[in-house]
Structure 1
Amino acid sequence: MEQEFLLKFLEIGAIDLKGDDTKLERLRSTAKDLSAALRKAPSKTACFTMVAADPNIAATDPTVEEAMASLRKQWETVANAFARRPVGILRAILLDAIMQAARSDDAIAVAFVNTARNALVHAETANESEIWREAVSEIEKKVDARAEAEWATPETITVDPFQYTAPSPVSTSYEAPTVNKSELRENIYSAAGPWGASNSNQYHSSQPQHWAPIFADKMSVAIAEVLNGMAEELAPAPVDLSGPLSQLAKAVTTHVDKALASFSGATAGLQRRTNLLWWKEALYSPSVHASYLDLPLFEASALMALDLHEQVPTYSPASVSAFLREAIRCLPAEKDDQDNGERDVASLVHDARTAAFMRPFRALATQYVPEPVGRGPLLSLIGHTQNSGVIEATTLRALVGVDASTKMTPSEWGTYLFRELQSARATTKSPTKQVKKK
């Protein structure tokens, strides 16, 4: 039976309904409505998740406003039931709504898992940590199950039997030719002497020196005419084989295409893993056509997130993020001159919004997400840089849920960006397959 996360918040005392089951039903109805709204607009998954994960989210956040409006439809007097806006209850409703939607929509599941993994690191959810662990674990298993099916390499490849139905035999009417005996007899009789009705032999057999040549000539003509007539009647009617041969050619082509597709699909996972291992060992960026070893450490980690994102499909196992983390750790840390190999989020965001090396990243972010309005993904700030100046600490916290002073290592920064890209692509209606590099 699927878990109801609203009840889990009640069990830990995070929300208090004074034992009123009527109020609980109203919350359930609201969660159901928000879940339906999320399935219609999956791009809201990141905002829903980030708001639900942050106990300190502002009561005026647009997502909180949307949840409150939905709750009012089920509970008209909700404003009078609480001294202030019940953000805690709204967060519980949002998580329950996300879980309902993620269970039925794989794209929402991908976006939820990647966003939650990022958000929970920077949120103060100590008393809710077990609830979130269970939520992320459940949906992550669902995502991994689908991803494993796409990444797996089967031990054997099965090809369906060749499908071809031979055409029905062509039936033709046939009548065996016969010899007109009386006519043949008349011709032989005429050839034997001068007594024939027509074309007779003017010599008698008693005159062999004259009779024999004439007899031979006339007999050969008589028999040859009969045989030629029979041969004409025995000649087979022409048969058009172009149709059956064309059908056979199409059947063979279809069979070969299916066989190749089976082979390609079965080996896609192996080929993908092989390509990733080559990429990790080469440490070469296809985005800027340069070695990551020749780039500043944090610049390299951001580009590695982008390059990996463009190499893997939307439905990828959770281990891919760990793979990226280890790949970034292969870079020499001594190249970085920052404090202990860490940098604050404020400076990282500023570079992401202004540095030339992040142009491909910004181009992709612009197509994935809209301009920032309330709590949402960091991609919104990176992709929409009409005002490329320094973002104030309070603004940064309000928009992405991360303190400006928070320190990140290169691997943490790269992994954070990669998860946001995966989340955004999963819920974007027309995600860009490939962005032209500048």
Structure 2
Amino acid sequence: MEEEFLLKFLEIGAIDLKGDDTKLEKLRSTAKDLSATLRKAPSRTACFTMVAADPNVAATDPTVEEAMASLRKQWETVANAFAGRPVGILRAILLDAIVQAARSDDAIAVAFVNTARNALAHTETSDEADIWREAVSEIETKVDARAEAEWATPDMITVDPLQYTPPTPVSTDYEAPTVNQSELKAKIHSAAGPWGPNNPNPHQPNANSQQWAQDFANRMSIAIAEELDGMAEKLAPAPVDLSGPLSTLAQAVTAHVDKALASFSGATAGLQRRTNLLWWKEALYSPSAHASYLDLPPFEASALMALDLHEQVPTYSPASVSAFLREAIRCLPVEKGDQGNDRRDVANLLNDARTTAFMQPFRALAAQYAPEPVGRGPLLSLIGHPRDSGAIEATTLRTLGGLDASTKMTPSEWGTYLFRELQTARATSDSPTKRAKK
């Protein structure tokens, strides 16, 4: 039986309904409604998750307002039941709704896992840590199962047998030709001497043997040849049109070869992808910047590595891909810890992402993926839609991005954070063209 995360919040005392099962049913109905809303608009997954993961989220956040409106439909007197807006209850409802939706929609599952991994690293959810760990683990296992199937290389490639049905044989009435013995006998008789009924040989064998023999041979050869020619004409086969059956066979063979090649390509795609990633990691060369990551400042390089890896892997990728990126970024010199500047404030990193020239490809993709920021949402919204060239205020960053301006990150943390947001955005993008790489 699937876990109900609302009950887990009840168990730890985060929700107190005074033992009233009627109120619990109202919360369950609200979670069900919000889950249906999320399945209709998967792009809301990041906002739902970021609000659910932050105990300090503002009560006026648009997602909190939406959850409250949904709860009010089920519980008209909810405002009188609590002194203020029950943000804790609404967060629990949101998490339950997200998990319900993620269980049935793989795209939402990808977005939830990536967003939760980012958000939980920078929020204070110690009392709820076990609940979130269990929720993320369940959905991440689901995502990994699909991803591993797409990335795996089977031990053996099997191809279905050739599908071809030969045409039905055409039955024809056939009568074996026979020799008309009476006619042949009359011709032989006529060739033998002047006694035959049909133009007989005028010579008799004893009177003029040489002339008789010549005339006999001529007449007999004509008689036999005419008979054989008649039989051969009757034995001549009727013309058969093989263009149709051969065309059908050619199409069946072509389809069979195409399926075999597709099976081979699909079976080796995971191996080819892993090989390409290893080459990329060892080369440390950016295809988007056409430059070595080693020649770029470390934080610029980490952001570009997040973008380049996102372009190389599909949406449904195992969790180990984020770890792979982290280790690849750690190959940069700054991660060796000998320069003393391997951590920077998020506010400064975000400002660079919004203004510097090297981040233009990243900004362009972020603008396609994420709408303008309205309430709590991903950093992609702030990066892709810079309202001005000035630095973002600390309160604005906290309200819209869920991060304190003073939060420090290493290049590997920054790159991994951006990569997860890119994967989340592509998974739940409303545009089919943006979701084409799934």
Normalized against structure 2, the TM-score is what?
Answer: 0.95
3-state DSSP of counterpart to 1:300: helix
What stretches of structure 1 of length at least 5 have no aligned partner? none
Residues 325-371 of structure 1 show CA distances to partners (whole Å, capped at 9, x for unaligned) of: 00000011189998531111111111111111111111111111111
Aligned-partner Cα distance in 1 for 2:188–2:86: 123
RMSD in angstroms over aligned alpha carbons?
2.0
Q: How far 1:308 moved relative to its partner?
A: 0.6
Q: How far 1:396 moved relative to its partner?
A: 0.8
Out of 411, 421, 434, the residue aligned to residue 432 of structure 1 is 434
Corresponding residue of 1:46: 46
Q: Is the 8 A contact 1:108 1:427 kept in 2?
A: yes
Where does 1:42-121 land on structure 2 (aligned, <5 Å)? 42-121=42-121
Where does 1:1-400 land on structure 2 (aligned, <5 Å)? 1-205=1-205, 206-333=207-334, 340-400=341-401
Aligned-partner Cα distance in 2 for 1:104–1:423: 17
Residues 232-255 of structure 1 show CA distances to partners (whole Å, capped at 9, x for unaligned) of: 111122222223322322232222
Residues 154-181 of structure 1 show CA distances to partners (whole Å, capped at 9, x for unaligned) of: 2222222333333333322211111222
Aligned-partner Cα distance in 1 for 2:436–2:71: 41
Q: Is the 8 A contact 1:191 1:218 kept in 2?
A: yes
Residues 21-45 of structure 1 show CA distances to partners (whole Å, capped at 9, x for unaligned) of: 2111111110110011111111100
3-state DSSP of counterpart to 2:389: coil
Which amino acid counterpart does residue 61 of structure 1 have in structure 2? D
Q: Is the 8 A contact 1:297 1:335 kept in 2?
A: no
Aligned-partner Cα distance in 1 for 2:248–2:120: 60
Corresponding residue of 2:419: 418
More displaced 10-residue stretch of structure 1: 205-214 or 274-283? 205-214
Q: How far 1:216 moved relative to its partner?
A: 1.8
What stretches of structure 2 of length at least 5 have no aligned partner? none
Q: 1:298 to 1:253 in 2, by over 3 A?
A: same
More displaced 10-residue stretch of structure 1: 335-344 or 215-224? 335-344
Which amino acid counterpart does residue 186 of structure 1 have in structure 2? A
Q: Is the 8 A contact 1:194 1:204 kept in 2?
A: yes
Residues 111-132 of structure 1 show CA distances to partners (whole Å, capped at 9, x for unaligned) of: 0010001011111112111111
More displaced 10-residue stretch of structure 1: 409-418 or 135-144? 135-144
Alignment size in residue pairs? 435
Aligned-partner Cα distance in 2 for 1:385–1:431: 24
Normalized against structure 1, the TM-score is what?
Answer: 0.95
Residues 130-157 of structure 1 show CA distances to partners (whole Å, capped at 9, x for unaligned) of: 1111111111111111111111122222
Aligned-partner Cα distance in 1 for 2:21–2:368: 44
Which amino acid counterpart does residue 346 of structure 1 have in structure 2? A
Aligned-partner Cα distance in 2 for 1:322–1:50: 21
Aligned-partner Cα distance in 1 for 2:195–2:89: 129
Aligned-partner Cα distance in 2 for 1:244–1:434: 39
More displaced 10-residue stretch of structure 1: 341-350 or 43-52? 341-350
Percent identity, aligned pairs only? 82
Q: 1:6 to 1:334 in 2, by over 3 A?
A: closer
3-state DSSP of counterpart to 1:259: helix
